[in-house]
Amino acid sequence: MMEEIARQIQKRLGTRQPRTAIILGSGLGNLGEEIQDSLTIPYEEINGFPHSTVSGHKGCLISGTLAGKEVLCMQGRFHLYEGIEPKKINTVITAFRLLGIKELIITNAAGSLHEEMPAGSLMLIKDHINLNIPTPLVGPDDEKYGPRFPDMSNAYDADSRKKIKETAAELQIPLFEGVYLMMLGPCFETPAEIRAIRLLGADAVGMSTVPEVVCAVHAGIKVLGISVITNLGTGLKNSAQSHSETILQASKASAALTTLIKNYLGKY
Ligand code: HPA
């Protein structure tokens, strides 16, 4: 299946050879609009590719250049809470590897566990916590595509993190750094859950990213992850949580994120 998906995408790409893939999180789709010389492939035109079902997620691959670098962008991601089979996430990421993707820039919208990191902040992900949610690697492993027991000690590549921190400093874009914890969702956390995961060492919480990162590490793809903070965690603010707030705050912060990613790509 991975070969088949890679073959279909390559056929559409023709001579294009992206080496960087970008996954856009909730409300962050407009980075896709900055892509030059773009070629759009709707997910439904790729046989075997999962479909995106969440509002704020468009559902297409965009190939083209960003700051002069060839990229392949997923505008619309897949979440386990959609009921998507986890293995499909591995199929997509492994297909990217077969296409020659070497680095994955992954973005998401997330809740903050610190008042000092409010909505609108950007947080570079230095590590993650998976609260025992089955990963897409559960099931038989084909060693051809990656090891049975992937090493997660440098999942969020230290060198890429150093480079993006330098880029952010040059641009004077404030960039926090912290640990992302994935909850399955789709409900937001309870106040007690937020207190508990703060004790566990998380700085931000969201409902995505970990499955793709695990698959990328398995496939030998370098990862750079950035969370856009869209709200304070439940109980850390007085108002209720909502998806519309996530989308609104993410689109507000997306200009800074776009600038940061473009400059990073342009430089490295
Ligand atoms: N919790 C989980 N996922 C999220 C949040 C949150 O507070 N904000 C945006 N995505």
- pLDDT value at 55 more than 70: no
CA distance 230 to 115: 12
241 lines ligand 1 (CB under 6 A): yes
**Global pTM value:** 0.95
39 Cα to the center of ligand 1, angstroms: 31
180 lines ligand 1 (CB under 6 A): no
Q: Label residue 132 exposed, middle or buried (CB < 10 Å: 0-12, 13-18, 19+).
A: exposed
Average pLDDT in the 182-200 region? 97
- Residue 267 neighbours by CB distance under 10 Å: 13
Note the pLDDT tens digit of each residue in 144-157.
Answer: 999 999 999 999 99
Ligand 1 pocket check: which of 121, 184, 207 to mutate, most ligand atoms within 8 Å of Cβ? 207
Average pLDDT in the 169-180 region? 97
pLDDT at residue 246, as a whole number:
86
Provide the pLDDT confidence category of residue 57 given band limits of 50, 70 and 90.
Answer: low
108 lines ligand 1 (CB under 6 A): no
110 Cα to the center of ligand 1, angstroms: 4
Q: Which of 229, 224, 227, 228 is nearest to 161 (CA)?
A: 224
pLDDT at residue 76, as a whole number:
85
232 bridge partner residues:
112
Provide the pLDDT confidence category of residue 166 given band limits of 50, 70 and 90.
Answer: very high
- pLDDT value at 260 more than 90: yes
Report DSSP state, residue 149: S
